[in-house]
Amino acid sequence: MVLVAGAVVLLLLGGVAFLLPYLLKRYIEQHSVAWIGRQVHIDRIVLNPFTLTYGVEGAECLEPEGSEVFVSWRSISVKADLWSGFREGRWRFRQLRITDPYVHVVQKGDRFNFSDLLALGGEDTAGTGASAVLFSMEGIQLTGGRVRYASDILKAPIGISGLMANCTRITSESARMDFDLHFTIDGGGEAGGRFMIDTDRSRYAVHADIRSFALAPLLPYLQDFLHTTALRGDLDLALDLEDSWADTAAFAAKGSLVLNQLAITDGAGNSLIGLQQGRLVLDTLNARDQLFKLGHLRMDGFSTRYQQWADGSNTWSKGLKLDTTTTAEGTTTTLDAEPGNIFLLLADYIRMLGQEFVANQYSADSLSVVNASIAFEDFTPEQPVRFRLDQLAIRSSRISTATGTADFTLSTRLNERGSLNSTFRFDPKDFHNVVADATVKDLYLPHLDGYSRWYAAHPLTSGILRYTGTTSIQQGRIDSRNHLSVDNLRFGKQTAVHDSGIYVLPLRLGTALLRDVHGMIDLDIPVKGDLNDPEFKPWPIVWQVLKNLVVKAAAAPVRLVGGMLGGNGEGGAQEVRFPSLATALDKDQRRALDALAALLKEKAELRVAMVPLVDLQQETENWAAREMKQAYLGLQTPLTTTDSLRVEELSLRDSSFTAFLDAKVPSTGGASERERCLLAVGAEAARQAVGALEEHRQQAVRAYLVRAGVPEDRMTFRPGTVEELAGHAGAPGFRFVVDVAG
């Protein structure tokens, strides 16, 4: 009888193991649409009471009325003693295995593609007196997972793949759950780490490690508020974070961020921002203790460019997509981007964190910027000014509210020739208290010729500036002591085209009076005042000092005579310069060549190489501007003196001339006037014409030196090396590179 009973039990268990799964599979597939509005397909259901294994293999749930997959997995299995669970009321599960799961999430507004399933759950029965179910799940493992998320606030769907997840234990006796995760980010990058959530204590913790996260997929979000064509680079992030959704003071974090090979272009595809590597280490951010501590911040190879135009616009006002709103309270300007933009969401989170967390203690081990460069172009004057800062480095000492001071050093090269070095110190508790020292050496002033012509009506032909200064600001009061030393400062003849709002000073006479017998000008310019006073402006003080110096020099003209008799500082001339587009030798060119000829005749063993210094971009633009002026005026080459004066005095910003340009080169309103002229005449024609002018200058210089007694084999004309030209390109001319023959 026992054997019969055993056989019956085995038959029943066999039916459960083999027949029931098949019937259950068919039943679920036939009724899934009626139950959840979605078609479900299942390859196999496993119910094995002998091995205590239960699972579903090859499951697939489709979206409502569609063929797209909503959820799928290759297999889900778990081991459990169900009979023991029924008897004891405690359900123990182990070895939960989920293989190759896939979830497709779609959001539109506040609705998801699973919102209808949540509504099927019925009313919450919590608090009805039902006894709690005791359960535990041990050894949870998920492999090969994929998630795809699409939303109406995203520019494109995002997804992860290769998801691996592990959890040692989940139980009804503990509200804490710990997970290990790792996955690949679609578009580039990998992420891994640990995640903890404790519902009883309302706390969560994240240890995240992201590697090589590609920035390129974020380009559409950046284009929301910036005219740009490319975003490149990747980032690495290590983050340890603890927080509570019930206690804002519980926030604590530390971590590091590395940004590699960042590149952002402008709307025309030109480089706007570059960064070889940026590194930020956050040692401590603790809201409860009000503590903020940076390990170090380092930026290596940062580069950018800045342009400004006569209409008041600049690189960023043109690049940023700004939305201007006028109300009764005034005009406000905001970024024109959707509220769901990823960058704005991040900014909102940082702003919210800043409102909840205000540090009364902060420190940073070091801040440094190295190998940086800034390219500056100013089209405000009619002749553009182009200036470059490179080899820029900024470094700090340790910054702390405890020490009371923070020291910084700054150094940079100025237009490949001069240098700026500065140290400054401020109080971390009060940024208004500053002490700064600065030194500028070998600043070649003709690089600023565009400003001199436009704002002072005189071309700047020569001059080397040295500056030292010390500035102190305490409680809003400034005390600045500045010393300027200019070697061989000289201006050309007054120009007819300049800013209409200036008062034209006799700069040629003024600088002649200020130069000493060695060709030097030394100025001390003190500035003192209260920065808290809205009426205080430092530049009028500087102007008053300069004006007083000119008056004093004019009252003592013997200094000018002494300078003429004792030497004018040009005996050691290193170059000869011509006015733009000029080829004939004037007295200034002859004076420099006479000095060179005297040197070569005195030292027979020396020879000289003439290195062209012309700034081809500036010269071609100048030639194109002159050609377009002649065309506008209907003049033919060669020009008479009167006609040349008419061309010189015609402003490129004359409204009639601008209309003439509009007819010649429409749809170029964003370019400067000289750039538009170059487009009108053609870049190749301009280059050929400028090349011909250069040939004429070479012939004139060679002929003059030969007439001065210099043998022709003692001089050559050749292109300059990078070192010879660095910081010297500008007005047409030649640098004298003197060497021993042979």
Secondary structure of 55-89 as H, E, C letters:
EEEEEEEECCCCCCEEEEEEEEEEEECHHHHHHHC
**Predicted local confidence at residue 259, as pLDDT:** 95
Q: Is the pLDDT of residue 441 over 50?
A: yes
Q: Are strands 134-151 and 102-108 parallel, antiparallel or unpaired?
A: parallel
Tokens of 148: 């795809």
Average pLDDT over residues 275-289: 86
Average pLDDT over residues 23-48: 87
Lowest mean pLDDT among 123-132, 439-448, 542-551, 597-606: 123-132
Tokens of 726: 């660095």
Average pLDDT over residues 63-91: 83
Lowest mean pLDDT among 397-411, 627-641, 700-714: 397-411
**Predicted local confidence at residue 542, as pLDDT:** 62
At 556, the pLDDT band (50, 70, 90 cuts) reads very low
Nearest to 275 by CA among 371, 184, 186: 371
Distance, in Å, from the CA atom of 63 to the CA atom of 148, rounded to the nearest integer, reads: 14
Torsion over CA: 288, 290, 294, 295 (sign): negative
Average pLDDT over residues 448-473: 90
Lowest mean pLDDT among 350-364, 512-526, 667-681: 350-364
| Helix pair angle (641-649, 616-633), 10° resolution | 110
- CA-only gyration radius of the chain, Å: 39
Average pLDDT over residues 238-243: 90
Q: Determine how many CB atoms are found less than 10 A away from the CB of residue 392.
A: 18
- Give the distance, in angstroms, between the CA of residue 540 and the centroid of all CA atoms in the same chain: 35
Any idea where the domains of the chain sit in the sequence? 571-740
**Torsion angle, alpha carbons of 637, 641, 646, 647, to 10:** 40
Q: Is the pLDDT of residue 731 over 70?
A: yes
Q: Are strands 291-300 and 361-379 parallel, antiparallel or unpaired?
A: parallel
| CA distance to 125, 360, 432, per residue, from 290 (Å) | 42, 6, 23
- Unique residue bearing structure tokens 């284009």: 223
Give Cβ neighbours of residue 600 (< 8 Å, ≥ 6 apart).
606, 607, 608, 705, 710, 714, 715
Instruction: Give the residue with greater pLDDT, 73 vs 505.
Output: 73
**Predicted local confidence at residue 405, as pLDDT:** 74
User: Omega of the bond prior to 381 within 30 degrees of 0, cis?
Assistant: no
Nearest to 137 by CA among 77, 57, 193: 77
Supply the pTM of this predicted model.
0.81
At 16, the pLDDT band (50, 70, 90 cuts) reads low
Average pLDDT over residues 326-347: 63
| Length of the chain measured in residues | 742
Q: Is the pLDDT of residue 559 over 50?
A: no
At 566, the pLDDT band (50, 70, 90 cuts) reads very low
**Predicted local confidence at residue 560, as pLDDT:** 37
Considering the domain delimited by 571-740, tell me its CATH architecture: 2-Layer Sandwich (3.30)
Highest mean pLDDT among 125-139, 293-307, 500-514 belongs to: 293-307
Distance, in Å, from the CA atom of 305 to the CA atom of 309, rounded to the nearest integer, reads: 14
**Predicted local confidence at residue 546, as pLDDT:** 62
Q: Is the pLDDT of residue 421 over 80?
A: yes
Distance, in Å, from the CA atom of 395 to the CA atom of 391, rounded to the nearest integer, reads: 13
CB 445 within 8 A of CB 487: no
Share of the chain above pLDDT 90, in %: 42
H or E stretch at 575 = strand 575-577
